[in-house]
Amino acid sequence: MDVETGEQEKSSSNYEECLALTTNPNEDLGKVLKAGCKPSLAQMSALMDNPVGNVAMLFNQFDGYRLENPDNNESETKYNYMLLAQFPKRLNENWNLINRVLINYTSFPIEQDDIDDFGDIDFGNLPGTPLPPPSGALVPVDLFDGRTTALGDAYYVGLFSPNEPLVLDNGAKLLLGAGFDLGFDTAAEDLTGTGKWTAGPSALAVYMGKKLKAGALVQHYWDYAGDDDRNDVNLTNIQALYYWSINETTSIGAGPNIIANWDQDNDNTWTVPVGIGINKTFQFGDVPVRFGIEYHHSVIQPDDVVSSEWDVRFYIIPAVPSALFDWMQ
């Protein structure tokens, strides 16, 4: 057998191997890359659906919130850009640590100088703080004048998750994770931060069926340090998610944030939005990128304080398999 024939047979064998590896959306991408194959777009899209999967993602999320003041029925729009880097770290053969690092940049329809004139009024629970993504303004004011745009608080969430999910009788997977969250007083203005350092527990449970993906990431925050003149932080953020796959790269559904501020009375504790949207994953060179848009409407919102009536969310998420990075393994 001459060299050229051998190379052709080797190339044909590699093609057949890659075809077999990349047509299975549940294939281990570490195995795919080790074989010298390129993961398919369908495989990467399926991996991006997994909130504790072996994939590194960079979320670029923009929210426009329509705020309503119940004192005078005035409305204004608040904007928030969230940059979130999510990446796994393999701890051992049984466990991963899923890391989520994020920052917020917020534009709120009140002038910071006007707030300073009030002196003893604390605006630490306005939208954008202390939980990302923000929802619900929790200070009774009659101010929708001017605008303050500045860096908000930063956050870290660490989730310990089994390397292998639970497989249910119907073949669906149950993803579980538990860990902790930290909030850092990095806001450039009082309006865009709590003035507090926060911490608390986090937990995740997600059902991953062939078509349906549904579950929630629950986070709670208490303050432990910071400005004594600012309000205490005692809030729960429930990042709900429910998506239905139309095809291998397209889904409909939403991921609204349910907020509970336990320092408010019963009529003002909850902001509960529901929503609908669509997302699709495209291939740009070697990088898959997900684009999505969602609308969330608050079916429950505080009665007596400024709150989010609805919001529109747009996001762009590039991703790469974590098997490309030795330090994640």
Note the pLDDT tens digit of each residue in 82-128: 999 999 999 998 999 999 999 999 888 877 776 665 544 444 443 33
Rounded mean pLDDT, 49-62: 93
Same domain, 320 and 211: yes
Find the helix or strand (DSSP H, E) in which 105 lies: strand 95-108
Same domain, 195 and 243: yes
Same domain, 227 and 324: yes
Same domain, 128 and 4: no
Same domain, 77 and 125: yes
Q: Is 20 part of a structural domain of the chain?
A: yes
Same domain, 235 and 258: yes
Same domain, 30 and 69: no
**What's residue 49's pLDDT?**
93
Domain that holds residue 116: 51-328
Which pair of structure tokens corresponds to residue 130? 């202390």
Q: Which residues pair with 220 in a beta bridge?
A: 236
* CA–CA distance, 33 with 43 (Å, rounded to integer): 12
* Closest residue by Cα to residue 306 from 149, 121, 83, 182: 121
Same domain, 170 and 211: yes
Q: Which is more confident, 162 or 116?
A: 162
Dihedral over Cα of 34, 279, 168, 158: its sign? positive
pLDDT 10s digits, 260-306: 988 877 888 898 999 999 999 999 998 999 999 999 999 998 887 77
**What's residue 114's pLDDT?**
64
pLDDT at 163 over 80: yes
Domain count along the chain: 2
Rounded mean pLDDT, 237-259: 95
Q: Indicate the SS3 state at residue 133.
A: coil
Q: Is 43 part of a structural domain of the chain?
A: no
Same domain, 100 and 226: yes
Q: Which is more confident, 24 or 87?
A: 87
pTM equals 0.86
**What's residue 36's pLDDT?**
80
Q: Is 45 part of a structural domain of the chain?
A: no
Backbone angles phi, psi at 288, to 5 degrees: -80, 140
Nearby residues of 99 by Cβ (< 8 Å), 6 or more positions away: 85, 86, 87, 88, 89, 156, 157, 158
* CA–CA distance, 130 with 193 (Å, rounded to integer): 6
**What's residue 327's pLDDT?**
65
Same domain, 156 and 285: yes
**What's residue 26's pLDDT?**
66
Q: Is 58 part of a structural domain of the chain?
A: yes
Q: Is 313 part of a structural domain of the chain?
A: yes
Same domain, 13 and 107: no
Same domain, 57 and 128: yes
Find the helix or strand (DSSP H, E) in which 283 lies: strand 270-284
Q: Is 238 part of a structural domain of the chain?
A: yes
pLDDT at 76 over 80: yes
Lookup result for tokens 């304080």: 305
pLDDT at 141 over 60: no
Mean pLDDT, the chain, rounded, equals 83
**What's residue 25's pLDDT?**
64
